[in-house]
A and B are shown apart, each in its own frame.
Chain A
Amino acid sequence: MSGFQATAGHGDPHSLGHGAAREHLPKHGGGHLVSKRIVTGYGFWIFLLSDIIMFSAFFATYAVLVGATADGPSGHDLFDLRNVGVETACLLLSSFTCGIASIGAMTHRSLWFYGAMTATFVLGAAFVGLELREFAGMIAQGNGPSRSAFLSAFFTLVGCHGMHVSLGLLWLLTMMAQVYAKGYRDDILRRILCFSLFWHALDIIWVGLFTVVYLMGVGQ
C-alpha cells in the first residue's frame, strides 16, 4: 500500500490530481492507471481555461473601448466602490465556503456540506442581487448598454461574469439536490469537484474584473 502511494506520488507522470487525490489513486492497477476523477478534473480544467480565454477577449474589448464614452459618463462618474467592495467580499467569502463544502463532501460530512453550500448560495445570490441593482440604477439613469461603446463593453464583460455566477448558482442547487437524492457517490463527487473548480475560477475572473474595470475606472 505504501509502495503504491510512493509510486503514485512521485514516479507517475499521469497522476495530475488536485490536492490529496494522488494519495488515493491506485486502488486498482499498478500505479499507471489514471483515476476517472483526475481525468474529469483535468478535462474541466481545460474547459475553464478556454472560458478564461473567452473572458480575455471581453477584457481586451473593454480595455480598447474604455475611453469611447461618446460624451457620456465614464467609469469615474458611474462606479460606486463601496458597492463593489461588498460584491467582492461576497464572492471571496463564497469561494471560501465552497472550499469548505468540497471538504465536507469528500469527508461525507453532511452538516459541513449542506451548511457551506447554503452559505455559498446566499453569498452568490447577494452578489448577483447587488450587481443587478447596480445595472438597474445605471439603466434607469439613461446609461444603459446602448449609451456608448464604453458602456456596451462594460455591460458585456460584467454581465457575462454575472451570468456565469447565476448559472453557477443553479448548478450549486443541482449539486445539493443530487447529494440529497443520491448520496456521496463517486460520480456526484466528481461533479462537486467540477463545480468547486468553476466557482473558484469565477472568483479569479472577478479579481481581474474589479481591478481593471472598477478600481482603474474610478482612478481615471
Chain B
Amino acid sequence: MSHSKQINGVDLVDSAPGDEPVEDDAHGLVAYLVGLGLATLLTAVSFFIARTTLVWPPSIPVALCVLAIAQMGVHLVFFLHITTGPDNVNNVMALAFGVLIVLLVIVGSLWIMSHMNHNMMPMDQIMQMQR
C-alpha cells in the first residue's frame, strides 16, 4: 500500500527547505478523534439547549454563544492545530488580530444600530410626515 518510503527517500535528497512533514499519524489521528468527540458533544448540547424548557429562557442565547465559542476553540486547537506553543506565536497573533476586527465589526454594528433604532421616530409618524 505505501510506496512512501521510496518516494520519501527521493524527495528528501533534493527537497527544498519546505519539504513535507511526515506526521506521527497515530498522534494526528488521536487529535482529530478527540476534536470530533468534543465538537459533537458541544453541538449536541447546543441543539438540546435551543429547544429545551428546562433552563431560564433569557439565558439560552448566552449559553448558545458560550457553546459556539467553545466549539470554535475546539476546532482551532484539534483541527487547525493552533496551539500556544512557541512555534505558533505568529499564528496566534494573526488570529488575535482577526478576532479583534471581528468583534469590532459585530459588536460595533449591533451597538450603533440599536441606538439608531432606539432614537428613530416610530414608523407610523414617519408615514404621517411624508403625507
Contacts and interface: CB of A to CB of B under 8 A. Distances in A.
Is this pair of chains taken from one and the same complex? yes
Interface of A: 9-10, 12-29, 33-40, 42, 45-46, 49-50, 52-53, 56-57, 59-61, 63-64, 81, 85, 88-89, 92-93, 95-96, 99-100, 103, 106-111, 183-186, 189-190, 197, 200-201, 203-204, 207-208, 210-212, 215-216, 218-219
Interface centre among B2, B7, B47, B64 (most CB of A within 10 A): B47
B4 A92 contact: no
Contacts of A12: 87
A165 B20 CA distance: 26
B12 A27 contact: yes
Nearest to A93: B36
Contact of A218 (B23, B51, B80): B51
A141 to B, nearest CB: 23
Interface residues of B, number: 67
Contact of B47 (A14, A60, A85): A85
Chain A interface main SS type: helix
Nearest to B18: A36
Given A9-B87, A95-B39, A215-B47, 14 more contacts: A20-B23, A35-B19, A56-B106, A64-B110, A81-B50, A85-B47, A99-B35, A107-B23, A109-B1, A186-B19, A204-B72, A204-B76, A207-B68, A210-B46
